[in-house]
Amino acid sequence: FGWHGRPASVGVRWRARRMLAPCITTASDDESDGDEPQRQTNRDSFMLSQSGTFNLADFKLNKSGMSAKSAPTPQPAGSMQQVIDVQSLEELKMGDDLGAGASGTVKKATHTPSGLFVAVKQIQILEKAKRDQMVVELRIMRTHECPWLVTLHNAFYEDAAVSMVLEFMDGGSLADVITKQGPQAEADERKLALIAMQMLNGLNYLHRQHHQVHRDLKPANVLINSRGQVKIADFGISSQLDSTHGMCSTFVGTTCYMAPERLNGSNYSYGADIWSFGLIMLEMLLGKFPYPHQENYFRLLSLIMDEEAPSVPETTFSNELAEFVSLCVNKNDIKRPSANDLLKHHWLRKHPTDDMLLSASLEKMML
């Protein structure tokens, strides 16, 4: 999911995100189409008005798109992002399937007024689990102004489904890159550092600014474009914590990338995302999932919980990189550094931040 990289033209503009609340609400038809605030009710309930509007707490969705009922919250300087101005689904020419996320399927589409590519995630709201995931994802993407998270252009409700129009990332996911490229060489540590730095910036923003644990960080949810940009996607099962020291106790996400404390049912916090990040780093280095293949799924879970964490082959890679990764996959979650701390690590700081290196590498892979 990401933008195509062409110059801004028809249908492309700059705008700031609106700050919106996450709760599902109900309202009468008069309330849903008026300016009065809707009354909050049980999270499991929702209202469809006679005019075909799907109502959420502070925003609503219909054929015309997504609109907020409160004034936009002022954004900090430099927080503006390029947004394709999609006015309706009729402006989109649907293309190939791109895959499936935590809450819905994703298709590639062309925004005909601008000629730019977008990704369209389609979610059936009548399924409660998918509806709840959609609400979480919409809240995050409409309130989190960050260049390291995938951008939401607009969202529409039609025929019992919500279509989220997202930026199209033409480089695919890290899972695609790992499959095509295989194990990394020592000379590629600069490229690894560029990917790691952008992932950590995204996690740092989620953790510090919005107290959000992603909970499903894996190579397929880290997207890249040909401009060398790396962005985190698929926030359908993210969880918001009360503070930077908050803890979660739910069990959701892709099990193979879960931290040991999650697998054994303990409370967990932001360190769970750092563990997942560490496994992704190892997978990029090795060209495969860092734990040995197991015929028995439960044996794999036992390895993650009970055995030593995998490590970087020091004969191939630098000692600094080996130390960096080992910090991320420390079995003791209390000893794992934060995303902000990792951004200050000497392995990252010694590498340049020029995206052109990563961009050139991706362009070769896409030929």
Contacts of 43 (CB under 8 A, 6+ apart): 23, 24, 132
How far apart (Å, rounded) are the C-alpha atoms in residues 324 and 232? Answer: 20
Predicted confidence at residue 209, as pLDDT, reads 81
Q: What is the pLDDT of residue 144?
A: 64
Q: What are the pLDDT digits (tens) for 211-265?
A: 888 888 999 999 999 888 999 988 654 454 444 445 444 444 468 899 999 998 8
Residue 364 to residues 6, 180, 358: CA-CA distances in angstroms?
19, 11, 10
Question: What would the pLDDT profile of 311-351 be if each residue is shown by its tens digit?
Answer: 998 788 999 999 999 999 999 999 999 999 999 999 999 98
Lowest mean pLDDT among 9-13, 100-104, 134-138: 9-13
Instruction: Report the pLDDT value the prediction gives residue 275, as an integer from 0 to 100.
Output: 97
Whether 185 contacts 317, CB under 8 Å: no
Question: What are 42-47's contacts with CB under 8 Å, separation 24+?
Answer: 43/132, 44/128, 46/125, 46/131
Helical ranges in the chain per DSSP H: 29-32, 128-143, 174-181, 189-204, 210, 260-263, 271-286, 297-306, 319-328, 339-343, 346-349, 355-366
Looking at per-residue pLDDT, the higher value among 149 and 183 belongs to: 149
The predicted pLDDT at position 217 comes to: 93
Give the DSSP letter string of 188-226: GHHHHHHHHHHHHHHHHIIIIIH-EE-S---GGGEEE-T
Catalytic residue among 216, 234, 273, 333: 216
Provide the pLDDT for residue 196. 95
- Burial code (b: 16+ CB inside 10 Å, e: under 16) for 248-265 equals beeebbbebbbbbbbbee
Residue tagged 């923003």 (tokens): 205
**Residue range 194-216, pLDDT digits in tens:** 999 999 999 999 888 878 888 88
Provide the residue ranges of all domains of the chain, joining segments of one domain with +: 12-166, 174-366
Tell me which residue of 163, 167, 318 sits closest to 229, measured CA to CA: 167
Could you tell me what percent of the chain has a pLDDT over 70? Answer: 69
In terms of average pLDDT, the best of 81-90, 138-147, 166-175, 270-279 is 270-279
Q: Is residue 216 among the annotated active site residues?
A: yes
Q: Once rounded to an integer, what is the mean pLDDT over residues 85-105? A: 84
Separation between Cα atoms, residue 285 and residue 184, nearest integer Å: 5
* Six-digit token string for 323: 């130390």
Annotated binding site: 121
Question: Do 12-166 and 174-366 share a fold?
Answer: no
- Is the pLDDT at 9 greater than 80, yes or no? no
- Work out the mean pLDDT of the chain and round it to a whole number: 77
Q: How confident is the model at residue 71 (pLDDT cuts 50, 70, 90)?
A: very low
Q: Which fold has domain 174-366?
A: Transferase(Phosphotransferase); domain 1 (1.10.510)
Do residues 145 and 192 touch, judged by C-beta distance below 8 A? no
Q: What is the DSSP string of 155-185?
A: EEEETTEEEEEE---TT-BHHHHHHHH-SPP
pLDDT digits (tens, 9 = 90+) for 53-68: 877 666 788 898 887 6
Could you tell me the pLDDT band of residue 352, with boundaries at 50, 70 and 90?
A: confident
Which pLDDT score is estimated for 20?
30
CB 231 within 8 A of CB 148: yes
User: Is 85 in contact with 13 (CB distance < 8 Å)?
Assistant: yes
pLDDT value at residue 366: 56
CA angle 93–14–174, rounded 5-degree value: 60
- Binding residues for ATP are 121
Q: How far is the CA of 126 from the CAs of 50, 53, 116, 131, 323, in angstroms?
A: 17, 14, 31, 7, 47
Residue, of 14 and 61, whose pLDDT is higher: 61
Query: Has residue 30 got a pLDDT over 50?
Result: no
User: What gap in Å lies between CA 21 and CA 91, rounded to an integer?
Assistant: 28
Domain 12-166, CATH: 3.30.200.20
